[in-house]
Structure 1
């Protein structure tokens, strides 16, 4: 039996979903999943983590409190594997007592990939990732690009740990609406520079050139920056504000089309959730999506607007659902399970 201690400084959103999927896909295997997470204000932690993990420990307060709690947990538990999640936990993990444990690190999008900070700060984050890297035994990248970046930094070993959206059958089998005159287009996530609402606003400007534009309703499922929310609403986008994950999924599954506009990401779980819900997608080309071999990728707001109109005109076309089925095969629970066993050596 392997004891894996997951340590994360950021336990909202995609990281929470990813960690829960690790526990689910290896349920019944000889792996004990323990969790130490720092809780941050406004993080949605509504998923049933206590039922999924053998032990759950949470920390509030400063990063120093988080580090001290992580150190104590490692010394008390003596895990076989220490699995660090997010850049902050990855950096602090360099200072944890390791003993005989294997140290694994999943960045869930490197901090130096951020595009809302100046280049000098990106360079600092990049240099910090190389500091103490020899103590990390495996970088389990959540995308092929993350593995490539880790290799360029000098990682000992990289393994692709594919994300997987675990949704029950009742949620994941929703019929596509092909008859309504109007369609609902959704975006999901925090209203923040990372998700790049400005890209959507520019897309809406381009969309006005098409007569179909008044038959397309846009919904942003999430909340965040007040000024960005205001700009979206003024452009005619319905913004839900922060809502529980279960409620988000209920609204998500009613969508006709999903747009992904983020400027940078690791491997976006919202894309995988859309695929599991069988919601057709148009994805912006960024590092995390450029190698997906998905046919509906765009690089500019203008081309995204064109693809939205094309979908409106041809949303019954089998290419949309066929491409989703390929996506679901590539990002499956079994592939994630195999990767976890390879990473943990179990």
Structure 2
């Protein structure tokens, strides 16, 4: 029997967003998943094998908009699933009511950016744009309870679908006497490497420090100057192996949704030391780790004992983000979209 077709659209297909989209496709094989996304050389975390078909994304914003039109015409999807801010903006402006159902996953709203490092006008503009486009969104599929609450406050119908990961690697004991503190992600303002460097300056325990990923050259240079190894982007399996050999995972982002790196580190058996921000608090991680001093003290404990101060929080976090939990929630979301289209008398194309 033919399957309803889902077209995933993202402006940049790299890093955590790409990995999250690939997991959405893997979790719901009962649908035919297509992809439109511009590859980010060096930070690929998904492959063409994860999708039934891939569509070119064009060059520049205008080229991307034209590519979205072409892909929708060719693929005839039942659902267009927009991922992240630019795709959410372009896709919702282009797709007229009466066409395929529009789902939107922000992967962290743009207005969540740290006001200390972002022009206030940009934050206000992002919030106004999201509110204006709410009426052109059938459903917001959000990867954290915090993101779902923000979407609902904007006037969107919203559901929480947990992120997950299938990256697995055998756990190895960290080398003595210097275990490794590992961070994963794009090096930029969102991941806040300056916060990490403040934590590092406070930690007295001997440890090697590694940032898996790449990004802003100036920030990369600051990390290296402070004794942090910057690996550049690695294939997912190599990331899993590096995590499995580490002693602790440190996450210092200033704003987030539900980062795949935390799930991958947890799957590798690492104790998680994650800076407290609203999104991670909503996921049930430790809300006490707000300052560099709090984070450094927790990291010292992990490096000394191999355990976080509140291990049950991490166990519950892992239990809520399984492939089975994602498959159940995402299937319910897609079926709701398809049923709503049928009730509205709209066509539901199948592959």
What is the TM-score normalised by the length of structure 1?
Answer: 0.90
Structure 1 contact 282–297 (Cα < 8 Å) conserved: no
Instruction: Decide whether aligned partners of structure 1 residues 324 and 278 sit closer, same or farther in structure 2, where only a CA change above 3 A counts.
Output: farther
Give 1:153 deviation, angstroms: 0.8
What is the TM-score normalised by the length of structure 2?
Answer: 0.88
Question: Quick check: 1:33 aligned with 2:33?
Answer: yes
Pick aligned residue for 2:258 from 257, 267, 270: 267
CA distance in 1, matches of 2:285, 2:124: 31
Aligned to 1:110: 109
Aligned to 1:220: 211
Aligned to 1:138: 139
Pick aligned residue for 2:71 from 70, 73, 76: 73
Question: Quick check: 1:329 aligned with 2:319?
Answer: yes
After the TM superposition, which residues 197-208 of structure 1 pair with which residues of structure 2 at under 5 Å, given as runs? 197-207=193-203
Aligned to 1:166: 166
Give 1:225 deviation, angstroms: 1.7
* Runs of at least 5 residues in structure 1 that lack an aligned partner in the other structure: none
Q: Which deviates further from its counterpart, 216-225 or 142-151?
A: 216-225
Instruction: Decide whether aligned partners of structure 1 residues 327 and 46 sit closer, same or farther in structure 2, where only a CA change above 3 A counts.
Output: closer
Aligned to 2:239: 248
Q: Find runs of 4+ consecutive structure 1 residues off by over 6 angstroms.
A: none
Pick aligned residue for 1:190 from 186, 189, 204: 186
CA distance in 2, matches of 1:54, 1:242: 26
Give 1:135 deviation, angstroms: 1.5
Number of paired residues? 331
Aligned to 1:20: 22
Deviations 1:109-134 (A, max 9, x none): 11111123111110011111112321
Question: Quick check: 1:288 aligned with 2:284?
Answer: no
* Runs of at least 5 residues in structure 2 that lack an aligned partner in the other structure: 339-351
Deviations 1:23-73 (A, max 9, x none): 21123x2x1111111234x452253x2212111113241111111111121
Deviations 1:181-221 (A, max 9, x none): 221111111221111110011112222xx4x3xx2111111
Give 1:296 deviation, angstroms: 7.7
Structure 1 contact 201–232 (Cα < 8 Å) conserved: yes
Give 1:326 deviation, angstroms: 2.4
Aligned to 1:128: 129
CA distance in 1, matches of 2:307, 2:112: 37
Give 1:90 deviation, angstroms: 0.6
CA distance in 2, matches of 1:9, 1:145: 23
Give 1:165 deviation, angstroms: 1.0
Give 1:85 deviation, angstroms: 0.5
Deviations 1:10-31 (A, max 9, x none): 211011101111121123x2x1
